[in-house]
Chains A and B, each alone.
Chain A
Amino acid sequence: MKALAVELTAPLREQTRARYPDESGYIERDGVRISYEVYGTGEPTVLLLPTWALFHSRHWKMQIPYLARHCRVVTFDGRGNGRSDRPHGAEPYAIREFALDALAVLDATATERAVVVGVSCATLWGVLLAAEHPERVAGAAFIGPAVPLAPPLPERTVYPFDELLDTDEGWAKYNIHHWRRDYRDFLDFFVGKCFTEPHSTKQIEDAIGWGLETTPEVLANHDAGIALPIGVDFGELCERVRCPVLVLHGDDDRIRPHAQGAALAEVTGGTLVTLEGAGHLPQARDPVKVNLLIREFVESLS
C-alpha cells in the first residue's frame, strides 16, 4: 500500500465538481477568516462540519451534490486548510473555536437550525455545539468519531509526538520531527491507514492532495489546540446532547477504534450503524451507503 501511495501525486488544480455552491463567503472571527459555501435551498439545512486540518471541505464532495438536491447544505473550511486562514499558535485551534466558527457560519447563512454531520474529530466540536446550543442543532450524525470515550488504538500510544525518535516505522511517523523531515511520507502513511479498504487509490490521492494544502506546523497547532481544556468533561458534554444522534463507524477503522463510536452512541442515546469492512472515512469510500444513511437520518427528523 505504501509503495502505491508514494506514486500518487497531488493534482495541480481542483477537479470539476458535480455541483458548485450557490453562495459562498467568509466570516471573520478574531481576525481569522473562514470560507463557507451554501448549496441548494429549502429545509432542513445540513451543516457538514470541518474535521482535522489535514483535510478541507472537499472531503464532503461525495455528499454535497446528493444532499443539496434534497435539502440545503452548508460547508466551511476549518481554520488551517482550504480557503480559510491558517493562524499561528495552538489557541486558535481549540475545540471551542471550531464550534464558534460553526455558529458564525450558521448566522452568516441565516440558518436558524441545522442537522450537523461530522467526520472523526469534528465530533468534538459537533458535540460541543449540540450540547451548548441545542436550539441550533436538530440532529447530529458522526462518522468514525474520534472521541475520548474509549481508549485509542494501542499502536498509537507507543511513540511520543514531540520527541526525536530513532525510528520512523509505522505510527512513529506521527511525530513532529518526522513531519518536518518528510511530511509527504507521513501523509502516505496516515491516509493509507484511513483507507483500509482495497482499491482506494482515488480516495487516497484526494486526501493526500488536501493534506498537501496545509503544513505540518498547522497540524501540530491543531493537535495542541484540541488538547486544550474546554472546561467540561467530554463525557458529561455528550450526556447533555438532547437531539437525535446517529453514529457510523467502520469495524476496520485503523485511526479510531470502533469502540469510540459505540461509546458515543451509548452515551448520547444515539443509533449506532456498524459498517463492516469499512475504514475511517466511509463518506469517501462508501458514499452511496453513507449518503442514504444521512438522508434517512435527516428525513427522520422532519
Chain B
Amino acid sequence: MITAAPAREQTRARYPDEEGFVERDGVRIFWERYGEGEPTILFPPTWELVHSRCWKMQIPYFARHGRVVTFDPPGNGRSDRPRDAAAYHRSQVAEYAVAVLDAAEVERAIVVSWCDMGDSLILAAEHPGRVSGLVFIAPSLPTREREVAEFPFDEELDTDEGWAKENRHYWLRDWPGYVEFFISQMFTEPHSTKQIEDCVGWGLETDAETLLVSFRGWDIKELDPETTVELCGRIRCPALVIHGTADELVEHERARAFASELGGVYVSLEGSGHGPHARDPVKINGLVREFTESIAPSQPKERRWTRAKSRRRRALYISSPIGLGHAQRDAAIADELRKLHPDLEIDWLAQHPVTAVLEARGERIHPASAYLASESSHVESESAEHDLHCFQAIRRMDEILLANFMVFDDLVREQQYDLWIGDEAWELDYYLHENPELKRAAYVWLTDFVGWLPMADGGDHEAFLTADYNAEMIEHIARFPRLRDRALFVGNREDVVPDSFGPELPQIRDWTEQHFDFAGYVTGFDPQALGDRGELGYSDEERVCIVTVGGSGVGGHLLRRVIESFPEAKERVPDLRMIVVAGPRIDPASLPQHEGLELRAYVHDLYRHLAACDLAVVQGGLTTSMELTANRRPFLYFPLRHHFEQNFHVRHRLGRYGAGRCMDFETDGPSEIAAAIAEEIGREVDYRPVERDGAARAAALIGELL
C-alpha cells in the first residue's frame, strides 16, 4: 500500500495548555501539558520512529478528566535530533521524563507507555516517588533471551523482502520503504489505513541517519532480560499490561511473561495488533481510565440513579454540525416526534453552528455539548479555493470524532435515555459498531447519502480508500445488525446513487434499499409560512438574483467570481437586482463592489428570500439546493471541488428532480456565469415536486421505538 505523509498536521481535538522545552546534556526535549487537576497521566514516547502525536486519541479524553503530559523523543517531533547514541539510551529517556515532570510541575504521575523498551520501567524503579501507577501497552520488554533476528542489521543483504528491510543499508537506501513496511506490521487489523497513514507520516518526520545513531538491532535498543527482571522486582506501584493477540511485533508470550514478572494485571485484547491505543482507542481509554480510577477515584460525592419505572421518556439527539441543513431538518423531526409523544424530552448534543439554530428555538442543549471539539472549524481549515476534499477532511477528523464520541459515552453512562438519534453523527455510528457493548438505548441513524465515492483525480489510491471505508461500514452492519434499530435515508430510493461501493462490493442502491427505511426529503420549513415578494421588499419590475454560500467560510472565492460577472449580467438582464449574502464567516468589506450590486452580511430568514427570488446562485450543498427545488426556483449551483457528496450524491439527486443548473468553478468564468444568469433567471421550471411530509414520516418511523 502506498501512503503519503500529510503536508501538515491535522486539526487536533485539543491543544496544549502549556508547552516548552527541557534541556539535558545539551539535548532539547519538547513537552506539552493539557488540562488541570488530578490524576496526572504521563504518556512518554516510544521508539523515535513516531512522536507524541501517537497519543492523539488519548489526550483529549484524559485532559477532560485530569492532567496529561506528553513529550517528543529525541530524534523526532519537535525535540532535537542528537548525533550521540547516549542521548537515546533508555535510562536517559527516563531522565528526560523526570525533567519534563519537573518542568510541568507534576509531582507524581500515572505513566502510560506504548511499546516500552525500558524507559518507563527505569523511571518507576529509579524514581518511585514520581510514579503512582504504570500501564504498559504492548511492552517490548524481554524477561528471557530473545531470538536472534533473522537478518543481521549491519550486513549488506541480497534481498530486501520482508524483515530484510530492517537493515542499515536498506534504511539508507529507502527509508520510506522501511517505515511503510514496519508500520504495516504494526496494524494487523483490517481497515487501519488512517492509523497506518498517521504513523508513516510521523516516521517520515525523522530519517534513517537519526535512527541509526542509536539503533543496531532490537537486542541493543531494548533492555536486556536480566535488567528487565531486576527492575520488575523493584516496582511497587500498581501496574497494568495490555497486549493484543494479533501483535506481530511483540510476541504474546513475551508480554504475558513480562506482566507476570511485574505482578501486574494482564489484559489480553483478542484480535488486536501492536497499536491498540490508536486502533481501538475507545477500549484502551476505558481500560486506562478504569486503572486511574482504581488509583485515584474521582467519583463524585453525590450520584443519582433513577428506577426504570420512574424515568421520564427521553431522547438524545446528536446532530452533525457539518452544514447547517441538519439543524433545520432535525428540529423539524423533533417537532413531529413531540407531536407523537408529548411527554418526550429531547436533549441535544450539538455544537456550533447547529446550537445557534437550536437555541433560537428554545431547545435543550445538553451542557456536555461544551466539551465537543469543533468539527466545522476543522472542515473549514481543510478547505481551499472553492475546494474541500470532503472524504479526506472526514478521515483527518478521526481525533476529533473520537474525542466527541468519548464525550457522548461519558454522558450516556451517567444519564439514561430511551433513544439516541444520530443525524450523520459519524463518531457515534462508527465507534458503536467498533464497541457494540456500549449501546445502552435504542439507536436511530439518519443520513442523506450512502457511500464514500472517490474523485477521479484521486486515482487508484483514493478509490482503494473509499472502498475500504465502505467495506468496513458494510461489515459493521452485517456483523451487528441490531445496533441501528432504525436507519433512515433522508430522501427516496431513487435519490441513492446508482454506483458501486467498490470492487467486489454491492451496488449502493441495492444495499441501501435492504438496510434503510426511506423518509422522503425533509425540508425543515413549512412552505405555507413563506412570504410573498412584496413583503420581502421586492417589486415586480425587477428580477432578483440572490447569491449565497450559506454559513460556510469556504465560499469567498465563489462570491468573488459571481460578483465579477455582475456587470456583464446586468448588461444582459437590465432589470437584474443582485444581492450577495456574505454570511457569518465572510466579511462583506473584503468583497469587491460594483455599482448597483447589493452586498449584505446577513439576511434574516434567508430561506424566505430564496423562496421568492427569480434566481439563486449557490454552492452544491444539499440543503439549500433542495430548498430551492422544493420552492421551484431556478438556480445555478457550483459543487465544491473534490467534495464527493456535492459532486456525486447531490448532483444525482438534483438531476432526478430536474432541478438547478450545474456549473463548474474550474471552467465557468464571469462571462459563462453572466450568460447562465440571463438564460435561467425567471425561468418557469418543471421540477419533480418535493414531498412535504418527510419530517412526519421520519418521526413516525423513529417514534415506534419509544
- B309 with A277: CB separation less than 8 A: yes
Count of B residues near A, CB < 8 Å? 14
- B307 with A271: CB separation less than 8 A: no
Q: Knowing A300-B294, A300-B297 touch, does A273 contact B303 (C-beta < 8 A)?
A: yes
| Whole-angstrom CA separation of A275 from B310 in the bound complex | 10
Give every chain A residue within 8 A of B300 (Cβ-Cβ). 271
Give every chain A residue within 8 A of B305 (Cβ-Cβ). 273-276, 289
- A273 with B309: CB separation less than 8 A: no
Give every chain B residue within 8 A of A289 (Cβ-Cβ). 305
Give every chain B residue within 8 A of A272 (Cβ-Cβ). 301-303
Interface string of A173-217 (1 = CB under 8 A from B): 000000000000000000000000110000000000000000000
Q: Which among B294, B303, B307, B311 is the interface contact of A286 at CB below 8 angstroms?
A: B307
Is A255 among interface residues, defined by CB-CB distance under 8 A?
no
Is A105 among interface residues, defined by CB-CB distance under 8 A?
no
Q: Knowing A300-B294, A300-B297 touch, does A277 contact B304 (C-beta < 8 A)?
A: no
Closest-by-CB residue of B relative to A296 is B299
Is A265 among interface residues, defined by CB-CB distance under 8 A?
yes
Give every chain B residue within 8 A of A277 (Cβ-Cβ). 306-307, 309-311
Task: Tell me the minimal C-beta distance from A298 to chain B in angstroms.
Answer: 13
Interface of B is mostly: mixed
Task: Tell me the minimal C-beta distance from B437 to chain A in angstroms.
Answer: 16
Interface string of B293-321 (1 = CB under 8 A from A): 01001011111111101110000000000
Interface residues of B in 310-367 (CB under 8 A from A): 310-311
Q: Which among A198, A265, A286 is the interface contact of B301 at CB below 8 angstroms?
A: A265
| Whole-angstrom CA separation of A274 from B301 in the bound complex | 11
| Whole-angstrom CA separation of A271 from B300 in the bound complex | 7
Interface residues of B in 272-307 (CB under 8 A from A): 294, 297, 299-307
- A273 with B306: CB separation less than 8 A: no
Interface residues of A in 242-300 (CB under 8 A from B): 265, 270-278, 286, 289, 299-300
| Whole-angstrom CA separation of A278 from B309 in the bound complex | 10
- B307 with A276: CB separation less than 8 A: yes
Closest-by-CB residue of B relative to A286 is B307
Task: Tell me the minimal C-beta distance from B589 to chain A in angstroms.
Answer: 55
Give every chain A residue within 8 A of B307 (Cβ-Cβ). 197, 275-278, 286
Task: Tell me the minimal C-beta distance from A246 to chain B in angstroms.
Answer: 10
Give every chain A residue within 8 A of B309 (Cβ-Cβ). 197-198, 277
| Whole-angstrom CA separation of A273 from B306 in the bound complex | 10
| Whole-angstrom CA separation of A274 from B302 in the bound complex | 8
Interface string of B536-577 (1 = CB under 8 A from A): 000000000000000000000000000000000000000000
Closest-by-CB residue of B relative to A302 is B294
Interface size class of A (residues with CB under 8 A): 10 to 19
| Whole-angstrom CA separation of A271 from B306 in the bound complex | 17
Give every chain A residue within 8 A of B310 (Cβ-Cβ). 276-277
| Whole-angstrom CA separation of A289 from B307 in the bound complex | 9
Give every chain A residue within 8 A of B294 (Cβ-Cβ). 299-300
Closest-by-CB residue of B relative to A272 is B302
Give every chain B residue within 8 A of A300 (Cβ-Cβ). 294, 297, 299
- A274 with B297: CB separation less than 8 A: no
- B303 with A271: CB separation less than 8 A: yes
Interface string of B170-194 (1 = CB under 8 A from A): 0000000000000000000000000
Task: Tell me the minimal C-beta distance from A54 to chain B in angstroms.
Answer: 24
Q: Which of B299, B301, B305, B311 has the most CB of A within 10 A?
A: B305
Give every chain A residue within 8 A of B301 (Cβ-Cβ). 265, 270-272
Give every chain B residue within 8 A of A270 (Cβ-Cβ). 301
Closest-by-CB residue of A relative to B304 is A274
| Whole-angstrom CA separation of A270 from B297 in the bound complex | 13
- A273 with B304: CB separation less than 8 A: yes
Give every chain A residue within 8 A of B299 (Cβ-Cβ). 271, 300
Task: Tell me the minimal C-beta distance from B621 to chain A in angstroms.
Answer: 44
Interface residues of A in 150-184 (CB under 8 A from B): none
| Whole-angstrom CA separation of A289 from B301 in the bound complex | 18
Task: Tell me the minimal C-beta distance from A267 to chain B in angstroms.
Answer: 13
| Whole-angstrom CA separation of A274 from B309 in the bound complex | 15
Task: Tell me the minimal C-beta distance from B517 to chain A in angstroms.
Answer: 34
| Whole-angstrom CA separation of A169 from B299 in the bound complex | 44
Give every chain B residue within 8 A of A271 (Cβ-Cβ). 299-303
Closest-by-CB residue of A relative to B300 is A271
Task: Tell me the minimal C-beta distance from B2 to chain A in angstroms.
Answer: 49
Give every chain B residue within 8 A of A265 (Cβ-Cβ). 301-302
| Whole-angstrom CA separation of A286 from B311 in the bound complex | 14
Closest-by-CB residue of A relative to B302 is A272
| Whole-angstrom CA separation of A96 from B301 in the bound complex | 29
| Whole-angstrom CA separation of A274 from B306 in the bound complex | 8
Q: Knowing A300-B294, A300-B297 touch, does A276 contact B304 (C-beta < 8 A)?
A: yes
Give every chain A residue within 8 A of B302 (Cβ-Cβ). 265, 271-274
Task: Tell me the minimal C-beta distance from B417 to chain A in angstroms.
Answer: 15
| Whole-angstrom CA separation of A300 from B294 in the bound complex | 6
Task: Tell me the minimal C-beta distance from B314 to chain A in angstroms.
Answer: 13
| Whole-angstrom CA separation of A274 from B299 in the bound complex | 14
| Whole-angstrom CA separation of A197 from B307 in the bound complex | 9
Task: Tell me the minimal C-beta distance from A241 to chain B in angstroms.
Answer: 15
Closest-by-CB residue of A relative to B310 is A277
Q: Which of B300, B301, B309 has the most CB of A within 10 A?
A: B301
| Whole-angstrom CA separation of A286 from B307 in the bound complex | 8
Closest-by-CB residue of B relative to A292 is B305
| Whole-angstrom CA separation of A177 from B300 in the bound complex | 46
Task: Tell me the minimal C-beta distance from B438 to chain A in angstroms.
Answer: 17
| Whole-angstrom CA separation of A277 from B306 in the bound complex | 6
Task: Tell me the minimal C-beta distance from B492 to chain A in angstroms.
Answer: 44
Interface residues of B in 31-76 (CB under 8 A from A): none
| Whole-angstrom CA separation of A273 from B301 in the bound complex | 8
Task: Tell me the minimal C-beta distance from B440 to chain A in angstroms.
Answer: 14
Give every chain B residue within 8 A of A273 (Cβ-Cβ). 302-305
| Whole-angstrom CA separation of A134 from B170 in the bound complex | 67
Task: Tell me the minimal C-beta distance from A210 to chain B in angstroms.
Answer: 23
Task: Tell me the minimal C-beta distance from A290 to chain B in angstroms.
Answer: 10
| Whole-angstrom CA separation of A184 from B127 in the bound complex | 68
- B306 with A276: CB separation less than 8 A: yes
| Whole-angstrom CA separation of A158 from B409 in the bound complex | 49
Task: Tell me the minimal C-beta distance from B263 to chain A in angstroms.
Answer: 15
Give every chain B residue within 8 A of A278 (Cβ-Cβ). 307
Give every chain A residue within 8 A of B304 (Cβ-Cβ). 273-274, 276
| Whole-angstrom CA separation of A278 from B307 in the bound complex | 7
| Whole-angstrom CA separation of A265 from B303 in the bound complex | 12
Task: Tell me the minimal C-beta distance from B592 to chain A in angstroms.
Answer: 62
| Whole-angstrom CA separation of A125 from B148 in the bound complex | 66
| Whole-angstrom CA separation of A176 from B300 in the bound complex | 43
Task: Tell me the minimal C-beta distance from A247 to chain B in angstroms.
Answer: 10
Task: Tell me the minimal C-beta distance from A299 to chain B in angstroms.
Answer: 8
Interface string of B607-641 (1 = CB under 8 A from A): 00000000000000000000000000000000000
Give every chain B residue within 8 A of A276 (Cβ-Cβ). 304-307, 310
Task: Tell me the minimal C-beta distance from A275 to chain B in angstroms.
Answer: 6
Task: Tell me the minimal C-beta distance from A277 to chain B in angstroms.
Answer: 3
Task: Tell me the minimal C-beta distance from B683 to chain A in angstroms.
Answer: 61
Closest-by-CB residue of A relative to B293 is A300
| Whole-angstrom CA separation of A275 from B309 in the bound complex | 12
Interface residues of A in 12-62 (CB under 8 A from B): none
| Whole-angstrom CA separation of A271 from B301 in the bound complex | 4
Give every chain A residue within 8 A of B297 (Cβ-Cβ). 300
Give every chain A residue within 8 A of B311 (Cβ-Cβ). 277
Given A272-B301, A277-B309, 15 more A-B residue pairs with CB atoms under 8 Å apart are A197-B307, A197-B309, A198-B309, A265-B301, A265-B302, A271-B299, A271-B302, A273-B302, A273-B304, A273-B305, A275-B305, A275-B306, A275-B307, A278-B307, A289-B305
| A-B complex: 4 closest residue pairs judged by Cβ atoms | A277-B310, A277-B307, A276-B306, A273-B303
| 18 chain-A/chain-B pairs, Cβ below 8 angstroms | A197-B309, A271-B301, A271-B302, A272-B303, A274-B302, A275-B305, A276-B304, A276-B306, A276-B307, A276-B310, A277-B306, A277-B307, A277-B310, A277-B311, A278-B307, A286-B307, A300-B294, A300-B299
Q: Which residues of B does A touch, CB under 8 Å?
A: 294, 297, 299-307, 309-311
